[in-house]
Structures are given as structure tokens and as C-alpha cells.
Amino acid sequence: MRKTGFSIFVFFFVFIFMTFIPVNAEKIKIKTIDGVQVVLNPKNPAPPKGTPAKMILKEELSIGEGEQEEEMFSQMTGVAVDNNGNIYIVDREENIIKVFDSKGKFVRSFGKQGQGPGEMNGPIGLRITPNNELMVEDVMGQRLVFFSLNGKFLRNLSTAKALGLALVRIDSKGNIMGQQIVPAEGKLTREVKKYDNELNPLFTIASHDFPNILEGKIDLFDLVFFFELGKDDTIYYGNLKEYNIEIFN
């Protein structure tokens, strides 16, 4: 089968200080509402004096343009980087994970198509957990597949009871956060939820009705929201339609 090469870029940031631009920090408003600190930012950026005001990206590394088959990709759907700079890339079409060192040199690959231990069937996401395990979202297999960083299969976790679970994150205690599709009163709802390590729901962070495509009621802002885990398992949630970022303990 002929493969098509794709490129993955690693950028480093070059900041330019622009001290001649007036700082509009006074436009930032901070309030306390029901005991929660709320920061209201102005429409235009207002960086504090002496901080970077502009960012320039320069290409540092390109992967996927080599002549060897092991260096190429068919359909990349997930990328992760460990503390040593090693790069892990999951290929959905090939059902394989390829590993490159910090210089972009191919190191090894593991995984294959199937339903057995260490096998995948349509992986769409890849994360390194706080316990330094490699977690793969195996969508067609309705499970999460866990490997060690050197490619050893560790275990599977079924996602059958969390319909449509995607964009999975795992905190330091093994709790799971992700997006789930929930049928309710004749419609579909997307929910960002937190679960325990066996996918029993703990609480819901946000809930959005899924647009009815058949009726032509599509709002692109309803389709996009983001969430991430930060330091001390803090949860960050962003909704484009509401123009805000919410932070949860």
C-alpha cells in the first residue's frame, strides 16, 4: 500500500518585546462573584508592561518527509511528547504507533489492527498520563488502550458505558475527563464529564445540545469547546460561543 507522507512540526517561540506600545492594563477588571474570582479582559490584548507582546514561530523539526516507509504516515490522529522529548504519533489507518527521538529519528513502532491485547481499530487520540503511560483512544473498539512508553501493552478499559467518549484526559489520581454524547428527550447532548477510573460519572462540567443537522440548525460555535487538565488536576474549560474560560478545582 502506498503511503503519503505528512509533516509534524515542532516550534520554538521567539518573543519580541514592544515597549513602545501603551499598556491598557487598566481595562482589565477583576470581580468576585459568589466567592469566585472573575477576570474580565478587554476586547484588545492588554499585556502587562515588560511582558512579550508578539510571538514569532520558526520551524525547528519536520517529521514524515523521509524516504523510508517507517518514517511516513497515512493518517495521523494523535501526537504526544514525553519528558525526554521523544515523539509518539498514532496512525489511524495503519493502527500503529510510531516513536521518534527528540531529533526526529525513527526509534520503533508498536501496535496493529485487531481486537486483541495491544491491538487497535481506529485510534483517534493519544496522551501520556501523569503515570507515564501511553493512552490511546480506540474509537471503533470502544476502549482505551494503555501501553508503557517503550511499547509494552498494559491493559484495556472499555468505554461502552460512556457513549461517544472522546478527547480523554486522565488526572494524577487516575480519574478520567472527556466528552460524551448523551441521548435525552429525543435529542443528543454533548457533555464534558469527569469519571472515576472505571468510568463511573463523578460530575458534569458542561452540557450542550448537539445541533440538528437534518433541520439545518448548525451553529459552528456550538460545535467547538475545549477542556484541559492543568497543575494539581485543575480543570480548564473554554466555550467559544460564550467567549470565556472557566477554571475548576
Q: List, in order, residues 6 or more apart from 203 with CB less than 8 Å away.
A: 193, 194
Distance CA 109, CA 107 (A): 7
- Say whether 151 sits in a helix, a strand or coil: coil
pTM: 0.76
Q: In what order do the strands lie in the sheet with 133-138?
A: 123-128, 133-138, 143-148, 153-158
Taking alpha carbons only, the member of 171, 167, 151 closest to residue 206 is 167
C-alpha cell at position 187? 435529542
- C-alpha closest to that of 176 among 156, 152, 192: 192
Instruction: Map out the domains of the chain with their CATH numbers.
Output: 66-248 (2.120.10.30)
- For residue 5, give the 3-state DSSP assignment: coil
Could you read off the pLDDT tens digit of each residue along the chain, which spans 249 residues? 445 444 444 444 343 334 344 444 457 888 998 888 898 888 777 777 788 777 889 988 888 777 777 777 787 888 999 999 999 999 888 889 999 999 989 899 898 888 888 888 889 889 999 999 999 999 888 899 999 999 999 999 999 888 888 899 999 999 999 988 877 676 778 889 999 999 999 999 988 876 665 666 666 556 667 889 998 899 999 877 777 888 988
